[in-house]
Amino acid sequence: MVDRVDRPSRVRPVIRVLAVALTAFSVAAVSGCGSDGEGQPELNGMTRTPPTEVGTVSLPDESPGGDGRSTDLKGEGDGLMLVYFGYTSCPDVCPTTLADLHMALEGMPADQADRIRVGMVTVDPERDTPKVLNGYLGHFFDADDYDSFRTMDTDELARAEKAFGASSKIGKPDRHGDYDVSHTAQVYAVDDTGQVLVEWPFGTSSDDIRSDLERLLGGDGSDSA
Amino acid sequence: MKKAMFLSVAVAGAIAIAGCGSDDSTDSTSAASDGTTVTDVWTRVTTPTQTAGAVYMTIQSPDGDTLTGASVPSSVAGEAQLHETTDEGSMDSTDSMDSTDMGSMDSTDSMDSTDSMGSGETMMGMKEVDQIDIPAGQSVALEPGGYHIMLIDLAKPIEEGDTIPVTLDFEQAGEIEVDATARAE
């Protein structure tokens, strides 16, 4: 480690971001390991005590099978829904996350992968029309395996975000009229009771996601009582 | 001081050797006279409805350099910009934000409750940056979640196996042309 080299200010924020992320992740990982009383299997992602309950959150589902019906953001039966708040005009974070999810699911045995649905909530409903959203998700997942949640009602979106502890903010348009949207980049795994079993921060590897999913599904939900 | 010099010489030596032959056939390695090299250039495939893409790479410069811009043919995209994905925090301003795009923080939605949710709830966002500094002897990675070259107004989707020519503008090295290989992940 060369410690005498001056780091220009441009590099510092990146290092700081990495340092914060690493710290947060290790704290999270440790707290995830140490969570007691829940009977949780050891997971790579982050768990909360008490777990986040989102059972009452529902949004219009514009996926081919959804038909715009109000659908709960949670798993079905013995399955899980992986909920993600993002937008399609995002070239870096969102495609990376969805690619990681795709890779995680690809490596799983079919009977387990079948129990997983991916539910993306767009934080940019203006540009992410149902067609755009479905075209985007359809690139990563089969038509039957995803839900595309979209609402033009900013209050409804805010309530859904708040239930998960997520947030988003539409940025100022640039000279072309394009805008970025800041958003929390966690993926939440929700079971059929509406409980968030685990969250993965942005950058969690597909291997870590897969191993968590296999643990959660393999144990029929939660271990013991 | 000594360590830095030794490292610079070692790196320069390594780069000089690497620059002579053509190594990676999959990724394009380009070098300029002052030794600035760009390796492992890749871009992510895009969905048919995506209007923006991202190009990633690793840049090294034994003497130090600065990436000031990038461009791509109009057959690829309308414009290429240098971008940085950053942690923007929930409500309070973070110190990594010096540009104006967080703009008006007027509370139109109930974001304050996320503060009590604990770690990991910071929002991620992107901002255009004027330049990316490559400190002497250090390797700077443009990678997912960090710096990237954003391709704006894609002319058509980027598909696996595609090669995208990108021209990089460096303060010291001048123009370096690289080819980004499209990967699914």
In a domain, A105, yes or no: yes
Contact B51 A135 (CB under 8 A): no
The answer, yes or no, to whether residue A46 has pLDDT greater than 70, is yes
Looking at per-residue confidence, does A160 or A55 come out higher? A160
More confident call, A94 vs B107 = A94
CA-based nearest residue in chain A for residue B140: A11
Q: Would residue B176 count as lying in a domain?
A: yes
Q: Judge whether A224 lies within some domain.
A: no
pLDDT in the model for residue A41: 62
Looking at the complex, report in whole angstroms how far the Cα of residue B11 sits from the nearest Cα belonging to chain A: 13
- Please check whether residue B144 touches A, CB under 8 A: yes
Domain CATH code at residue B146: 2.60.40.1890
Q: How far apart are CA A68 and CA A82, in angstroms?
A: 19
Number of inter-chain CB pairs under 8 A, A vs B: 174
Is residue A11 packed enough to be buried (19+ CB in 10 Å), middle (13-18) or exposed (0-12)? middle
A186 or A222, higher pLDDT: A186
How many domains does the structure of chain A reveal?
1
CB nearest A178 (choices: B104, B127, B152): B152
Residue B108 has pLDDT above 60, yes or no: no
Cα torsion A102, A108, A110, A113 to 10°: value is: -50
B120 in A contact zone (CB under 8 Å): yes
In a domain, B75, yes or no: yes
- Look at B133 and A28; give whichever has higher pLDDT: B133
Task: State the average pLDDT for chain B.
Answer: 77
Q: In chain B, positions 12-71, which contact chain A (CB-CB < 8 Å)? A: 44, 46-54
What confidence tens digit (pLDDT) does each residue in B42-90 have? 999 998 888 899 999 999 999 999 999 999 999 999 999 999 999 876 5
**Which residue, chain included where needed, has tokens 């909530």?**
A121
Given this model, what pLDDT does residue A221 score?
A: 44
Question: Is residue A214 one of the residues assigned to a domain?
Answer: yes
Q: What pLDDT does B88 receive?
A: 78
Inter-CA distances, A94 with A127, A164, A185, B67, B144, Å: 15, 18, 8, 25, 10
- CATH number for position A48: 3.40.30.10
Asked if the Cβ–Cβ distance from A92 to B148 is below 8 Å, we say yes
When divided into structural domains, chain B yields a total of 1
Residue-level pLDDT at B35? 87
Residue A225 inside a domain? The answer is: no
**Cis previous bond, A8, omega within 30:** no
Q: What is the SS3 assignment for A29?
A: helix
Average pLDDT in the B101-127 region?
A: 53
Q: Which residues of A171-180 are buried (b: 16+ CB within 10 A; e: fewer)?
A: beeeeeeebb
Tokens of B149: 């070259």
> Which residue segment(s) compose the domain that A173 sits in?
11-218
For residue B101, the tally of other CB atoms under 10 A from its CB is 18
Q: Give the range of the structural domain holding residue B128, as residue numbers without chain letter.
A: 30-91+122-185
Rounded to an integer, what distance in angstroms lies between the CA atom of residue A199 and that of residue B59?
33
Structure tokens at B133: 């500094």
Residue B163 confidence class, pLDDT cut points 50, 70, 90: very high
Q: Between B118 and B79, whose confidence is greater?
A: B79
pLDDT confidence of residue B50: 86
Res A222: pLDDT: 45
Question: Crossing angle of helices A93-106/A206-218, nearest 10°?
Answer: 50
Of the listed ranges A78-92, A186-200, B78-92, B108-122, the least confidently predicted one is B108-122
Whether residue A72 has pLDDT greater than 90: yes
Q: With a CB-CB cutoff of 8 Å, which residues 98-117 of chain A face chain B?
A: 99-100, 102-103
Measured between beta carbons, which residues in chain A are less than 8 angstroms from residue B47? 88, 95, 135-136, 138-140
| pLDDT over 50 at A104, yes or no | yes
CA distance B146 to B155: 24
Q: Is residue B10 part of a domain?
A: no
> ipTM exceeding 0.85?
no
B-contacting residues in A 164-183 (Cβ below 8 Å):
165-169, 171-172, 174, 176, 178, 180-183
Q: Tell whether A190 is within 8 A of chain B (Cβ).
A: no
Confidence (pLDDT) at A13 = 67
pTM for the complete prediction? 0.73
Q: Classify residue A223: in a domain, yes or no.
A: no
Point out the residue among B108, B129, B145 whose CB comes nearest to the CB of A93.
Answer: B145
Task: Provide the pLDDT for residue B185.
Answer: 72
Lowest mean pLDDT among A157-171, B111-125, B147-161: B111-125
Partners of B151 on chain A (C-beta within 8 Å) are 91
Bridge pairing between strands A196-200 and A187-190: antiparallel
Residue B110 resides in a domain: no
The percent of residues above 70 in pLDDT, for chain B, comes to 64
Residue-level pLDDT at B122:
84
Residue at B112 is within a domain: no
The string of DSSP codes covering A176-216 is TS---EEEE--EEEE-TTSBEEEEE-TT--HHHHHHHHHHH
Which long-range CB contacts under 8 A does A151-155 form with residues at least 24 apart? A151/A59, A151/A60, A151/A125, A152/A125, A152/A126, A154/B108, A154/B109, A155/B109
- The answer to the question of residue A139 being in a domain is yes
Look at residue B5 and tell me if it is in a domain.
no
Q: Does residue A193 lie within any of the structural domains?
A: yes
Per-residue pLDDT tens digits for A49-60: 999 999 789 999
